[in-house]
Amino acid sequence: MPAVVVAAVVGVLFFLGYRYYSSYLARKVYVLDPAFVTPAHEFNDGNDFVPTNKHVLFGHHFTSVAGAAPIVGPAIAVFWGWGPALTWIVLGTIFAAGVHDFGSLVVSVRHKARSIGTLAGEVVNGRARGLFLAIIFFLLTLVNAVFAVVIGNLFVNNPGAVIPIVVEIPVAMLIGQYIYKTRSSALIPSIVGVLLLYALILVGNAVPVSLDGLAETLGFEQTRNLWVILLFVYTWVASRIPVWVLLQPRDYINSHQLFIALGVISLGVIIGLNTIQAPLVNDVPEGSPSFFPFLFITIACGAISGFHSLVASGTTSKQLDRETDARYVGYMGAVGEGSLATGAVLAATAGVAASQAEWQALYPDFATASGGATGNFVDGVAVFANNIGIPLDIATIFAAVVVISFAATTMDTGVRLQRYVVQEIGELTGIRVLARNLSLATTIAVVIPLAMALLPGGGEAGYTFGVLWQLFGTTNQLTAGLALAVIAVWVTRRGRSPVVVLIPLVFLLAMTSWALLVNLRNFVRDDQWVLAPLDAVIFLLALWLIVEAALALRGAFRDRTTTDAGERPAVARDEPR
């Protein structure tokens, strides 16, 4: 199958999804109000609450939710064949992720930009809030720890990417200062930032930076661990400063990278006429995980991911200028993820191999497919870039820069969200110093995932990535189920039909529960006595969620109303930045 045909069909379906389905959601399900005064205006503090131009906010939201997950998951999932992977990406993006991301943003904005965990307490009940906070804390700790490991590995394996990524930080801060002081449009400065970033790829290729010598001098067994420590020191600082200083301008620069990367992939498959070498449905070796239910756990970001609800109700809802922008930021963000996931499928099936034999050598079993996913994406995109005349060594650094940029942005946002959760736990437990001391909350948000990232064991990947990461997919999808339950109850109470929310909710809970049970059996069989009890706890939490969601929905149907009374603050608007 020509890759360009697949890309074109998926592009048309995503366009139709945004044009018609998101419009239906905006008018009939979420009923957006252009006159609603958003929390960014009501609580504007110049730090976390900042009214923001929708294009800049899209950049922040998309790059925060993108990370490496919509690349790694699809690049693994093609192990079952490109057909099942692509089908789930398309259907999941249009009918599940769009509903979930868009809805999480709207419900949070309607409740003073509160997190989805707090909303669970307000919309469902107090027990659900505690349930949600426990799951969110575990999920964010895993994400921050693993992304630090992934970025550290990429820096070690691609020393030419170090200079572009590091220099991007002061460049973004200068752009942020310029935009904030002059209140000018972010478009031109951010494009200059992107051009500078890509010019620095040439510098990085000429002057690769390796910390091997320094790591050896300091006694590190793996250079990656030194990078992990440096990354968490950086995120401690980055998550404490106002969003407009670094988070917004860097995310906006990185959002341009999405379109550039997708453009490179599209042009590459058109000019190179690459064909998909993977089978439509792969005849996997005996004993491999079956794609029912594990495909729907392996591809989370890129189809539907609970992490998105944390970002939407964490940082994004505090910056939304107009409620009607939620459709563009929330639903289009999901489409952007689906597009990136599609690019990952093409890179891992058409770019990385020139024949079916070459592809089979890269995907002989599930473990090999999982271990080589990031590398297969980078190598596949490099081939597409090479098709349009970019030298292969430069193209490889370009692909690495794209992955690291997205992963680093997600980590930035993830640590800031973890700080919010720590403060929220402080409020819930009455520990005031935890709720009010930002430095203490940030330190806790950094130290715990840092310790997890440095845990020994688990082979070359480390304990967190090599062992605990097996729980990420189910935890992430359980979080998505919780968010969809909150959205469904909120929609039902306003007298609107929750069917479009309930369908992905039921499907997701079924797949997650199924996967948890299979994993539990496998962990016990393999004597994995860390994973087995954790998996059992997550399964019990899933059952708890099902009960709470059913009770809350029954109550919501009983208390249906047609008003949004009490959700409209009457204050003046500020100009967006």
Greatest pairwise CA separation for the chain in angstroms: 67
Size (the chain), residues:
577
**Across residues 63-81, what is the average pLDDT?**
87
The phi, psi pair for 134, rounded to 5°, reads -65, -45
Helix (H) or strand (E) holding 61: helix 54-66
Q: Is 515 exposed, middle or buried (0-12, 13-18, 19+ CB in 10 A)?
A: buried
Q: Which domains does the chain have, with CATH numbers?
A: 3-565 (1.20.1740.10)
Three-state DSSP at 2 gives: strand
Q: Per residue in 541-567, pLDDT tens?
A: 888 878 888 898 998 888 776 555 445
CA distance 61 to 257: 14
pLDDT above 70 coverage of the chain, percent:
97
How many whole angstroms separate alpha carbon 141 and alpha carbon 298? 19
Span 370-383, mean pLDDT?
88
pLDDT at 427 (0 to 100): 87
Cβ atoms of residues 5 and 534 within 8 Å: no
pLDDT of residue 480: 94
Q: Is 459 exposed, middle or buried (0-12, 13-18, 19+ CB in 10 A)?
A: exposed
CA 121, CA 135: separation in Å to the nearest integer? 14
Residue 571: other Cβ atoms inside 10 A = 10
CB atoms within 10 A of CB 381: 29
Specify the pTM: 0.88
pLDDT in tens, 256-308: 887 888 889 989 999 999 999 999 999 999 989 998 999 999 998 889 999 89
Of 237, 171, 229, 226, residue with least CA distance to 198: 171
DSSP string, 247-287: HHHHHHHHHHHHHHHHHHHHHHHHHH--B--S-SS--PPTT
- What Cα–Cα distance (Å) separates residue 414 from each residue in 48, 207, 408, 417? 14, 31, 10, 5
Tokens of 63: 């790059």
The 3-state DSSP class for residue 322 equals: strand
Q: Which of 140, 222, 236 is nearest to 452 (CA)?
A: 140
Other residues' Cβ atoms within 10 Å of the Cβ of residue 239: 25
pLDDT per position as a tens digit, 121-160: 888 777 778 777 888 888 899 889 988 988 998 899 889 9
pLDDT at 573 over 60: no
Q: What average pLDDT does the chain have?
A: 89
Q: Is the pLDDT of residue 234 over 90?
A: yes
Which residue is associated with the tokens 């970025």?
Answer: 151
C-alpha span between 298 and 294 (Å, rounded) = 6
Query: Which bin fits 457, alpha (ψ -120 to 50), beta or left (φ > 0)?
Result: left
| Amino acid (one-letter) located at 272 | G
248 confidence band (pLDDT: 50, 70, 90): confident
With 80 as the cut, is the pLDDT of residue 570 above it? no
- Verify cis geometry, omega within 30 degrees of 0, for the bond prior to 293: yes
User: Which structure tokens are listed for 443?
Assistant: 């330190």
Give me 113's structure tokens: 């930009």
Buried b (16+ CB within 10 A) or exposed e, 417-436: bbbbbbbbbbebeeeeebbe
d(CA 321, CA 575): 8
Give pLDDT, residue 572: 46
Reduced to 3 states (helix: H, G, I; strand: E, B; else coil), residue 567 is coil
Query: How many distinct helices (H) and strands (E) make up the chain?
Result: 28, 0
Residue range 160-187, pLDDT digits in tens = 999 999 999 999 999 888 888 887 887 8
Tell me the C-alpha to C-alpha distance, in Å, between residue 240 and each of 26, 237, 246, 371, 483: 34, 5, 11, 34, 27
Label residue 444 by pLDDT band (50, 70, 90).
very high
- Is residue 495 a contact partner of residue 112, using CB atoms and an 8 Å limit? no
Q: In the prediction, which pLDDT does 576 show?
A: 55
* 3-state DSSP of 284-305: CCCCCCCHHHHHHHHCCCCCCC
Q: What pLDDT, on the 0 to 100 scale, is given for residue 17?
A: 97
Q: What is the pLDDT of residues 38-54, one digit of tens each?
A: 999 999 988 889 999 99
Distance CA 500, CA 156 (A): 45
What pLDDT score was predicted for residue 442? 94
Cβ atoms 481, 509 nearer than 8 A:
yes
Check residue 46 and give its pLDDT: 85
Identify the pLDDT of residue 456.
83
Q: What is the CA radius of gyration of the chain?
A: 22
Contact present, 480 and 305 (Cβ < 8 Å): yes
Vertex 133, ends 129 and 138: CA angle to 5°?
Answer: 155
Please say whether the beta carbons of 472 and 461 come within 8 A.
no
Look at the block and give the residue holding tokens 């980078």. Answer: 378
Average pLDDT of the residues in 408-414: 85
Closest to 297 in 3D by CA, of 561, 134, 106, 477: 477
Burial (CB count <10 Å: 0-12, 13-18, 19+), residue 537? middle
